[in-house]
Structure 1
Amino acid sequence: MSPGTRRGILIGGALLVVVVVAAAFFLLNSGGPAPEAATGTEATAVESPGAHDPNSAITEYLQDVSENNPDAAARLTDDNAAAAVALRSTRNALNPSSVTAKLSVLQPAPAGAKQTGGTFSLSWTLKPGQVWTYDVPFQLALSDGKWLVHWAPSLLHPKLEAGQRLVVSTAAPDTVAVADRDGKPVVFSGTGGPRLVDGNPAPLLRTALLGQVTATTGGGLAVERLDAGGKSVERMFGKAPGGGAKPLVTSLSLTAQSSAQAAVDGYKGSAMLVALDTGSGDILAVAQNTAAGASPKALSGLYEPGSSFKIATSVAAIQQSGLNAASPVDCPGVATIGTRTVRNEGFELGATNLETAFARSCNTTFGKLALDLPADGLKKAADELGLNADFEIPGLNTELGKVEPAASKDEQVEDGFGQGRIQASALGGTLMAATVAAGKAITPRLWHDVETTVVKGYSPPPAPVLGQVRKLMRAVVTSGTGHAAASAGEVFGKTGTAQFGDGKQATGWFVGYRGSVAFAVVLEESNDSGPAVQVAAKFLKSL
């Protein structure tokens, strides 16, 4: 490719800089005085780099720099490798929309001279209206009959020294970019870019937290000169908006997040936990352990909720069938309901009441209650508890659940105790519990500064209905399957075990609330709800 054609190609478009752009670490080598003129004849005139006269050498170099052709520019210097790396890395770091390098002064080179020099101007258009321009001294030397630009870091900026680099910053060093709901730092921003506080307290939310900092970055920026260790030596240009700016506020509570993470990390299998503030809808914690993988299943993974869905079945039975906590029901150990044979987990209660059947998690009772409902009865209850709602929470991809009218009577029976085609996520289970606790529709949010979009909202069950459901959920902890949580205070909840696949594995659930904190624990393949109750109790005790 001819030099003329080469210079006509612009390599890479540059985006406007709105965030911290971290350059790949590189060392700007050399920086010493101009070399003595070479006298050797190791290379032929055709093969040696450079130009036949000083003016051509510096003019071609500046044109290649302007046109973002670092390799060509580097071949016009006396340190090809170092120059190519430094020119490319600095261009990537500053990410300008354009660069203009123009010759200002070239000292005359008398006949026989082997060195000369001058100055050129270098202009970086970093953002509209923000152009960084300065003068750069340069030296030229004759080598093997060709003129070369003497490479030094100072060709990028007169103050730049060996081992140093330039980066763009959108905030002062160690500025708090995001604080939790209690004012504790969650994300810092500075010359190295936004970063979570030490310990990476919310790994599942890392992208959401850092991305929101990027999305809300102001219009300012600064160019910093960093030393070899990445420490800022000097602000070279501009003004970062982060200094003194009010940080974003996330709904997270670092205390709750730490407690949730410790609770799931203490479980050997796959575990996830979500917690919400029932008053504000604040997402207080989202945690899952290593065994659950890196994908945020706590927010979007859908599972059969098992008997935790009996909260919805109870809402439907109380609201649509006129029952209350004291209503008499039957709880046989095994029952044929429609054409479906339903069994309890090795117990029967006989004649009892709704509160006891709920507390002991009697499948035969709730299969019969579901069959007595209209075909869409359970869906209506699930709607009122938020399982079919849809929210767009900035930075998060969430799924709450999926509850549709049963396709058959047998399916309707199975739906009554959370099998069939009923699905929910840990976030959905938490929202269901939060709705019971608060008596109002909850809009989950991750930010105090950025609104959650309600794509599909919901209206809660009537207050008298929820009053009865609260009695049922409290009995689960005082005298039922969630008794292991009794030591964690006044806890309301519902356990669940949902078989899937060939029926040999089951997901364990515990959904509930204490005070203003609603939660859901989901354990994959635990085959029992007992461990989920223990994880929840550990979380609540540490708050």
Structure 2
Amino acid sequence: MSRLSRSVRLALALGLLTPTLTACFEEPSPHEAIRDFLVGWESGDYAMAARRADADEASVRKALGDVALHLDAASLRFKLGHITRDGGTAQAAFQAEVDLGENNPLWTYASTLPLHQVDGRWKVRWSPSVIHPDLHEGQRLAVKVDPEGRQPIIDRYGDTLQDQDTQYVAQVIPVQLSDPARLCQELAKVTGFAQDRLLSRILSAPPTDAVPLATFGRAKYEQLLAQLDRIDGLKIAVVYPPVAPKSPAQIVGRVNAVTAESEQQLGGPQRAGDTVGRDGLQRAYQDQLTGSTETRVIVLDTKTWKTVKELKSWPGRKNTPVRTTIDSRLQRAADLAVARTQPVALVAVDAPTGQVLAVSTKDLHQENDALAGKFPAGTTFSVIATEALLKAGLDVGQKVPCTADRTVGGARFQQTGVTSSAPSFEADFAHGCVTALASMARRVDERALTESAGLFGIGAPWGLPLNSFSGSIPAGTTDAARAKIIAGSSVRVSPLAMALVAGAVRSGTWHPPTLVTAPSSPDPNAEIIPPPPPKPRPLDAARVAELRSLMRAGVATGSARAAAAPGDPVYGVASTVTFVDKKDRRQLSWFVGWQGDVAVAVMMEGPDPAGASSVAGAFFSGTRKDF
């Protein structure tokens, strides 16, 4: 290849955007004609390109401009290949790279520019096949987009956790529009979507296809109805996608139609007419649930608008359902149990696995409070503290006075409803006697408490896709500090953390929580990228047996008696705790325990010390009726 030919090829490979950098070729060489045509086409200077064609310049200008419109192309680039010449004719091989936008891959195809001399000047022999080898007279290019619907979030049995919702899709049939630009201008004013993007979607679509431009929920549609009705050519289709969340609604999450603002923020394959997760799992797995949009470049017959040929297709990123561990039957029982109570949160987990079975709240938030809340555990934390005490040699039969008032290292503790001045530790545990439990601070050191808390996953880096809190304990360097830890007044936990504590005692192994089983890996584009979950942590078998006995006494004879239910024995511990939250004084009652393999934690606001236990009992009874 000559030095001259190599210079042209280099200029084209670098983008053909600066024709002043290329050498000035003299006719009758075809190189200058090739350069001017491809540079003009790539840069949008269609007049320059048309001057190098042998056809009517206006027709060529329009044809080249239509390529970008009909493909909705973000850019076109060309790379020059081999040039051959045979007397007064020549051919230039080139490769086209078309960026179709919307995160689609580049469409790359090979073609050839035919040239011949006209009145001593080299000209491109014009025909539609210059644009693409398979394009002929009476045909045009188009982009056909076929999105799949949003995939569902499902429970552990494969049943959907969404009901049908009503949405309104503003769409057009391009061939029926007299003035697409005006329609897009008016719709842009109403919706905020960019006018040029709306227009490009219309112009690039097959003219007889319905092209969705915007989707509205019921409230937004009613607000904009009068303005939308005034837009000539705009049609409204009512659709019923299954996106309204069932219980647990705040865990599943809500779905909104893509707005002008969210379209810009997403930066992915979503576009007007699609949906976006607003919160919960719908938001955490937005890309997993959506994004499966097949894109095809096709050739259309301009008389019949039928597809003549498919030139290229992309299947899009595969979207699949998100399978959760939620048990809808247990979820219904939980919802009924909390329905007529004070503010309350109930979390149920599968003891052998740590899988989250149900999350139900009343006047509290399922994610922010039940999974990620930071609350004092009260004497339910004695489950963890007792593991450390047993390791230190505690005999649960020894007498430990349960007094109305006790001071440990300067920290004061008070107990109401004292039943005996010298009960055993077992009775103190069963009744949640805070003064007796706090008095054990001198029997255990800070390291032992920290190690026991770690065995039960307190402070562990959970691998959940939603906000969650695994708990924290403060330093226990003094008697007073350790007493507050044992009494559960200085520790902070979530209901989920305590449900896992109950599950650990039931199964003998602490398991990290699991909420989603498929996909197996988190969405890499999610706002919360969870760390890898910790491994299960086996507990000492002898100490676990002692804890089970203590927690059975808590329901059989202790303060958790209200949790008793038909069927298998119920094990658990109850407590009350008062604390100051943002200057507000709050009272909580807790129940932590299990029946069968279903471990629960219930946290209820209010002065009733049996409130949480009663909710747990109603839940356990409800699970029996539901099966």
Alignment TM class, shorter chain as reference: 0.5 to 0.7
Structure 2: distance between partners of 1:104 and 1:125: 27
What is the match of residue 160 of structure 1? 208
Deviations 1:18-39 (A, max 9, x none): xxxxxxxxxxxxxxxxxxxxxx
What is the match of residue 392 of structure 2? 320
Letter matched to residue 348 of structure 2: A
1:534 aligns with 2:607: no
1:496 aligns with 2:575: yes
For residue 423 of structure 1, report the CA deviation from its aligned partner. Answer: 1.0
With over 3 angstroms needed to count, the CA separation of the structure-2 counterparts of 1:338 and 1:258, relative to structure 1, is same
Structure 1: distance between partners of 2:415 and 2:371: 30
What is the match of residue 302 of structure 1? 374
For residue 516 of structure 1, report the CA deviation from its aligned partner. Answer: 0.3
With over 3 angstroms needed to count, the CA separation of the structure-2 counterparts of 1:284 and 1:118, relative to structure 1, is same
Where do 1:191-340 residues align within 5 Å? 196=243, 199=246, 201-206=248-253, 207=279, 209-210=281-282, 221-222=293-294, 249-269=323-343, 271-289=344-362, 291-293=363-365, 295-324=367-396, 326-340=397-411
Q: What is the aligned counterpart of 2:460 among 389, 392, 404?
A: 389
Q: Equivalent residue of 1:390, what SS?
A: coil
Where do 1:126-137 residues align within 5 Å? none
What is the match of residue 429 of structure 1? 498
Q: Equivalent residue of 1:307, what SS?
A: helix
What is the match of residue 229 of structure 1? none
Q: Is the 8 A contact 1:95 1:126 kept in 2?
A: no
With over 3 angstroms needed to count, the CA separation of the structure-2 counterparts of 1:387 and 1:526, relative to structure 1, is same
With over 3 angstroms needed to count, the CA separation of the structure-2 counterparts of 1:139 and 1:520, relative to structure 1, is closer
What is the match of residue 12 of structure 1? none
Deviations 1:10-55 (A, max 9, x none): xxxxxxxxxxxxxxxxxxxxxxxxxxxxxxxxxxxxxxxxxx9555
With over 3 angstroms needed to count, the CA separation of the structure-2 counterparts of 1:328 and 1:398, relative to structure 1, is same
For residue 266 of structure 1, report the CA deviation from its aligned partner. Answer: 3.0
Q: Is the 8 A contact 1:510 1:521 kept in 2?
A: yes
With over 3 angstroms needed to count, the CA separation of the structure-2 counterparts of 1:252 and 1:55, relative to structure 1, is same
Q: Is the 8 A contact 2:205 2:211 kept in 1?
A: no
Deviations 1:320-353 (A, max 9, x none): 13323x2322112222333333210242411111
Letter matched to residue 477 of structure 1: V
Asked which structure has the greater CA Rg, the reply is: 2
Structure 2: distance between partners of 1:497 and 1:384: 24
- Between 1 and 2, higher relative CO (CA 8 Å, sep ≥ 6) is seen in 1
Where do 1:73-152 residues align within 5 Å? 96=104, 118-123=138-143
Question: More helix by proportion, 1 or 2?
Answer: 2
Q: CA RMSD in A?
A: 4.4
Letter matched to residue 493 of structure 2: A
1:419 aligns with 2:489: yes
Q: TM-score, normalised by structure 2?
A: 0.55
1:510 aligns with 2:580: no
What is the match of residue 378 of structure 1? 449
Structure 2: distance between partners of 1:323 and 1:293: 41
Q: Is the 8 A contact 2:350 2:597 kept in 1?
A: yes
Q: TM-score, normalised by structure 1?
A: 0.63
What count of residue pairs does the alignment treat as equivalent?
Answer: 403
Structure 2: distance between partners of 1:322 and 1:386: 23
For residue 467 of structure 1, report the CA deviation from its aligned partner. Answer: 1.0
Structure 1: distance between partners of 2:176 and 2:429: 84
Q: Is the 8 A contact 1:105 1:118 kept in 2?
A: no
Structure 1: distance between partners of 2:542 and 2:366: 41
For residue 382 of structure 1, report the CA deviation from its aligned partner. Answer: 1.5
Deviations 1:73-114 (A, max 9, x none): xxxxxxxxxxxxxxxxxx99x6645689x99759xxxxxxxx
Q: Is the 8 A contact 1:474 1:492 kept in 2?
A: yes
Structure 2: distance between partners of 1:202 and 1:264: 15
Gaps of 5+ in 2: 1-16, 18-56, 75-99, 112-125, 130-136, 148-173, 180-198, 215-238, 254-278, 297-306, 522-529
Structure 1: distance between partners of 2:144 and 2:378: 61
Structure 2: distance between partners of 1:375 and 1:446: 33
Letter matched to residue 486 of structure 2: G
With over 3 angstroms needed to count, the CA separation of the structure-2 counterparts of 1:66 and 1:260, relative to structure 1, is same
What is the match of residue 41 of structure 1? none
Q: Equivalent residue of 2:537, what SS?
A: coil
Deviations 1:137-174 (A, max 9, x none): 99999xxxxxxxxx99985444625x55499xxxxxxx
Deviations 1:212-244 (A, max 9, x none): 7655579974369xxxxxxxxx9x97768979x
Letter matched to residue 512 of structure 2: T
Structure 2: distance between partners of 1:215 and 1:344: 53
With over 3 angstroms needed to count, the CA separation of the structure-2 counterparts of 1:454 and 1:56, relative to structure 1, is closer
Gaps of 5+ in 1: 1-7, 9-51, 70-90, 107-116, 128-135, 142-150, 168-191, 225-233
Letter matched to residue 254 of structure 1: S
Structure 2: distance between partners of 1:194 and 1:371: 61
Q: Is the 8 A contact 1:315 1:381 kept in 2?
A: yes
Identity %, equivalent residues? 23
Q: Is the 8 A contact 2:371 2:495 kept in 1?
A: yes
For residue 300 of structure 1, report the CA deviation from its aligned partner. Answer: 1.3
